[in-house]
Each structure stands twice: as C-alpha cells, then as structure tokens.
Structure 1
Amino acid sequence: MPRDSRLLGRESQSLDRHVGPHDDIDVSYGAVGSWIVSNALAVAGRVCETYLVGPRDTDDPPQWRTEIGWPVFRMSDGREPRT
C-alpha cells in the first residue's frame, strides 16, 4: 500500500504522499496505481496534486511533500481494500 494511502467512502480518493524532489514522483504514481488495481478499484476522474511543501516553501528538495489524490470507485463486491 502506498504511503498514507486510504480509500475514503465508496466513491472518493486514494491518497499518497510523495516525499522529496519531483524527479521520481512517477514511482509514487506507480505505487498508487498498483494499489488501485489490486483492490479492484477504478479511476473516476483526474489526478490531483497538492503541494503541501514545495519549492515556494523551501529550497531543500528532501523537505518537499506532494499529496497525490486519485478519484476512485469500487468495481467489486464491497470488500475492504487490502493494506
């Protein structure tokens, strides 16, 4: 399960918090995508990035925090997501 990832309600978001520079943010996207597929969820809209701490806040990339939110919905029988 991706860091800080959680499913909120039946039709909501799967969230992950990427830590550090954006050079490897694709790894966090891949982790969330894999978690979504393994839990029989489907993407329900556009991905949203929220910059909790970024270049505007600090020049120190290891301090950056980006929240990745994917709107999702259940495709299965209502099982709870695997952790």
Structure 2
Amino acid sequence: KSELVAAVALELAIPRASAADLVGLFFGAQGLIAGELKKGGSVNISGFGHFFTRRRAGRRGRNPRTGRAIRIRPSIVPTFRAGKNLKELISKTRK
C-alpha cells in the first residue's frame, strides 16, 4: 500500500498524506471497495478488474501443530479477477 501511495503522490504531484487519503478511500478497510463487498456487492473497474465475494465451502483440515483433524467452517472471501486489459499488459511485459 505504501508503494501505491508513493506512486500516486509522485504522479499527481500531491503530498503523501493526501495520496494516502485517496488510496485509503478506495482500498482501505473502510474504503469504497471493502464497503461494497461487505454489503454483498461487487466492484468492476473497467479495464483493470472485478472485485467480488465468493463462498468457500466447509472442509476438513489438519491442525499443523498437533496433526489432529479439524472442521473448517464455510466462509465468504474477497476475490479479484483481472480484466482483459490488465491481463494483456502483463502478458506483453513477460514476453
């Protein structure tokens, strides 16, 4: 997050504190994206990607310390799917 704040501050020629507020507005724990996901919604940033929630099924697991079998409860997790433009940009960079 600090790298993003620094990049925004440099690109927009604004103080780091203002850039931190701007980044926090979108990506912070109380930000717009998190708020929409908490409500069960999704956020689509055209050309960049799609933030949404996904339900993970309950499953059996193991306690790594004791080796005992445990039950892991179902949960809702945040998910990100990269958009077409972002995927193309990354694939061109790696060639």
Higher strand share: 1
Higher fraction of helix: 2
Task: Tell me, yes or no, whether TM beats 0.5.
Answer: no
**Based on CA coordinates, which of the two structures has the bigger radius of gyration?**
2
Greater relative contact order (Cα 8 A, min sep 6): structure 1 or 2? 1
TM-score (norm 2): 0.26
Question: What is the TM-score when the length of structure 1 is the normalising length?
Answer: 0.29
